[in-house]
A and B are shown apart, each in its own frame.
Chain A
Amino acid sequence: MLSFILKRLLSSIPVIFMVVLITFILVRLAPGGPFSDERKVPPIVLENLNKRYHLDDPVYVQFFDYIGNVLQGDFGPSFKYANRSVSEIIYSGLPITVELGLYALLVAIVIGITSGVIAALRPNTWQDYVPMSFSMLGICLPSFVLGPLLILIFGIWVQWLPVSGWGDAPFDKVLPSFTLGAAYAAYMARLSRGGMLDVMSQDYIRTARAKGLPNWLVVVRHGLNSGLAPVVTFAGPAAAGLLSGSFVVESVFQIPGMGRFYLQAAFNRDYTMILGTTIVFSVLIVLFNLLADILMVWMNPRLRHARN
């Protein structure tokens, strides 16, 4: 197992390097620069700004300087926020994105599994149709539609929940977590329904029932154990997706997370910020995928033996 992890970690280094290189080239190819604005910056000022940020060096020198600095843990200063470094911004935004991702995952697991299991226990009844219809809706509705819709209902009409912010008002984390987690909850509901339906028709479940075990004990002790295996395999990539997929939700709810900084950096041509956030997101995605693989190998003896 250790050699598997080491091998995967080593193979991620060139992946991340290529991501940085391609991003570096793409941002430089994009028209416009960090200092272009409707009111033009006087040429003499622009010249000095380019000098200050080493944009007048040849591009390959800039790239290798950047890589050198990153290896020493320095992502450089932000072009937009002159008095903050990219590292500082990532340091403030990353915990928020991670927290939002975790809450969304929790929403996805709790709502998804609960409704999936209920649907599987009463197949082809209204208890099945209602959650499954909602889950189809959850899959189809993008977060930029669902978010404003929830704001309208819970924030403006009934005024139960704040419409934006993060950690400033009570319950302001509820709507963004739900919006981000909804689509994943929908997937999990369908996966857990399918898994549970399979399992509940197995012989050992019938045996358990024949022995006189109460229904809930059969479900909890024997059913969930195997019925949720597809959900567990989905949870790893889902966690990576939740962490790196919060751009829209962070923008809709004005959350100061990494996703929002990433989007703004792209619009502002904040070169160092784009690269810094890309690196962090790449590392996160690689790590979570690795974690999911490890989990799958650990849970599935056949895979473990195949590897050995």
Chain B
Amino acid sequence: MPNIFHFSLLFLLSSALLCCSKNTPTNAERGIEEQILYVANADEPRELDPQLSTGTPEHQISSALFEGLLNRHPKTLAMTPGAAERWTLADDQLTYTFYLRKNGRWSNGDKINAHDFVYSWHRSLLVRLGSEWASMKYVIKNAEAFHRGDIDDFSQVGVKAVDDYTLSITLETPTHHFPQLLWHNSYFPVHQATIETFGAMDDRLSKWTLPGNLVGNGPFTLTRWELNKVLEVKRNTHYWDNNAVKLNGIVFYPIASQQSEVRAYRSGQIHLTYSPQMAIEKIADYQKNDPDSLRIHNGYSSYFYEFNTTIEPFTDARVRRALAYAIDRDKIVKLVTKAGEPPAYSVVAPDPNGYQAEALFGYDVAKAQQLLAEAGYPNGAGFPAAEILYNTHDNHRKVALAIQQMLRENLNIEVQLLNQEWKVYLNTKLNLQHSIARAGWRADFLDPINFFELLAPNSGNNNTGWKNQAYGEVLNAIRTAKTEQERQQLMAKANEILAEQMPVIPLYYMTDVNLVSPAVQGWYDNAMHFHPFNRVFLQDTASTTRQNNKQ
């Protein structure tokens, strides 16, 4: 008797689930009708304060809630008007003048004016606030001195409100890429009255960014934020370009696991994945079965190995070059990473504006062996113990394994693999306790200088111990170059120094791999992984129907 009861119960439960669940539309289906975009946003944002937020997940949300002086065109990445409707650069190449649009409004209806920008940038340079991006403003006259406390008077910093709608910015030196920086969230404005309602100007722990408190000037406004669960924004009706915004809202899910985001996509919980790299092992499956959903395009980012040039045998540039020559990058991208990555022969990624660093070396085993012999290790004899350090991630492990094998086969040297948890790995690199470590860099703005500066002698992100004065001087010259031609020549020179000295081994340029539902329109692949939500909309297409049927 009990077993009949048991099976009947199971049958009833299964039937109930079947009936109820099959008829419930998924988020992806419902979203198309309601114009609500469902996004897997990689990680939980630690903060929405634009001057305090640091990572990509925060930036995606910040750019929905706030708007800087300038925007970017999602296809060409050219700078376009944002809170400012136009701007000029004086002949001295130092003074920018931004003319704010008069119909700009905060989400509470207040007008946006030039003083808001002065207040916000002043705030970000207050050292007690602890903005990790304050140094992004060091290009502005006296900004660094103010941040370091060398001067107390903010009026000496090169940011002035000429009148309510005119903002004047004076730079330290001509800075080719300055307009691009304005797109970064640390340059976004904040609403003074809101900041001061919830705390002091430099209060890092203020609650002004919680739902109900936050006032922004972007196309959307915050309605819900539950940690590790969901963050929701809805259309900001006060936004100056509200009529052109098509989405009624966006729902961000903090899904950190690459496997989980793919599952969420397959089950129709989200329209798109937003972490730059999806799980590698799923790529082939999507290429075969659902190519309409798979988006692969070149990012503005580089993957490389850093030497610790302060320890033997990597103090010798010949050893570093030998290792760089002995690695077959084509094999790595074709057989290991498999996401269409271009192999790299310079740490500087090719940029969509046309800069392409010349490849000054290549895969050449004979040359590698010769260099190693010249350095005193013929056929790898006597080569000291070395390790490849990487943080816990399957992709890093696979690349390290391939390189370990190539060095063994081509140079007869044995390197060990050392896997460390993320923070331990960072600490090991910071203290130069590694011999070779994997690294990656995603540029903050579209200019080669961003990559070149990584290896500057005074760069905080230079984990090689390589401090080359000649290279530092070339970098200074690039920053102050008067003409584009001169700049290009100097960058070629910097690239030569890097190829001769080889403080890092360039391996490949990373690609961004995402799942994007065919229903998502106005979403363009670009090198900066930049996707303004104010132009995105959802439309049921034939391929969406196909995708739904497949599910």
Binding site for B on A (CB under 8 A): 30-33, 35-45, 48-49, 52, 77, 80-84, 89, 92-93, 114-115, 117-118, 121-122, 127, 148, 151-152, 155-156, 158-166, 168-171, 174, 215-216, 219, 251-252, 254-256, 260-261, 264, 267-269
Flag if B255 contacts A254 (CB, 8 Å): yes
Listed by A's residue number, 8 A-B pairs whose Cβ atoms lie within 8 Å are A31-B428, A32-B426, A82-B46, A83-B49, A83-B209, A151-B263, A164-B253, A171-B17
Q: Is B288 an interface residue (CB 8 A)?
A: no
Mask: chain B, 491-505; 1 = CB below 8 Å from A; 0 = not: 000000000000000
Flag if B426 contacts A127 (CB, 8 Å): no
Task: Give the residue of A82, A92, A174, A267 whose beta carbon is less than 8 angstroms from that of B227.
Answer: A92
Flag if B460 contacts A40 (CB, 8 Å): yes
Flag if A216 contacts B269 (CB, 8 Å): no
Flag if A37 contacts B227 (CB, 8 Å): no
Give residues 1-43 of B contacting A (CB, 8 Å): 1-3, 6, 17-18, 20-22, 24
Give residues 529-546 of B contacting A (CB, 8 Å): none
Question: Do A38 and B260 contact each other (CB < 8 Å), given the known contacts A45-B134, A48-B130, A121-B2?
Answer: no
**Which of these binds chain A: B84-92, B167-175, B417-425?**
B417-425
Least Cβ distance of B431 to chain A in Å?
9
Question: Across chains A and B, which 3 residue pairs bring their CB atoms closest together, nearest first?
Answer: A32-B423, A256-B228, A31-B427
Which of B2, B6, B147, B551 lies at the interface centre, i.e. has the most chain A CB atoms within 10 A of its CB?
B2
Flag if B421 contacts A267 (CB, 8 Å): yes
Question: Do A171 and B20 contact each other (CB < 8 Å), given the known contacts A41-B132, A261-B228?
Answer: yes
Question: Do A80 and B205 contact each other (CB < 8 Å), given the known contacts A170-B21, A216-B1?
Answer: no
Cα distance, A122 to B461, chains bound together (Å): 69
Cα distance, A117 to B6, chains bound together (Å): 11
Least Cβ distance of B316 to chain A in Å?
27
Flag if A45 contacts B131 (CB, 8 Å): yes
Least Cβ distance of B318 to chain A in Å?
29
A32 nearest in chain B by CB position: B423
Give residues 130-157 of B contacting A (CB, 8 Å): 130-132, 134-135, 147-148
Q: Is B449 an interface residue (CB 8 A)?
A: no
Flag if A156 contacts B263 (CB, 8 Å): yes
Which residues from chain A contact B208 at a C-beta distance below 8 Å?
83
**4 further interface pairs, Cβ-Cβ under 8 Å (given A31-B423, A40-B460, A80-B46):** A38-B440, A171-B21, A216-B2, A268-B423
Q: Is B521 an interface residue (CB 8 A)?
A: no
B1 nearest in chain A by CB position: A216
Flag if B205 contacts A77 (CB, 8 Å): yes
Which residues from chain A contact B130 at a C-beta distance below 8 Å?
45, 48-49, 52
Give residues 64-86 of B contacting A (CB, 8 Å): none
Give residues 246-276 of B contacting A (CB, 8 Å): 253-255, 257, 259-260, 263-264, 266-267, 269
Least Cβ distance of A236 to chain B in Å?
26
Which residues from chain B contact A159 at a C-beta distance below 8 Å?
21-22, 267, 551
Least Cβ distance of B10 to chain A in Å?
10
Least Cβ distance of A136 to chain B in Å?
19
Which residues from chain B contact A252 at a C-beta distance below 8 Å?
260
Task: Give the residue of B44, B135, B210, B424 whose beta carbon is less than 8 angstroms from that of A42.
Answer: B135
Least Cβ distance of B397 to chain A in Å?
18
Which residues from chain B contact A163 at a C-beta distance below 8 Å?
260, 263-264, 267, 269
Flag if B47 contacts A81 (CB, 8 Å): yes
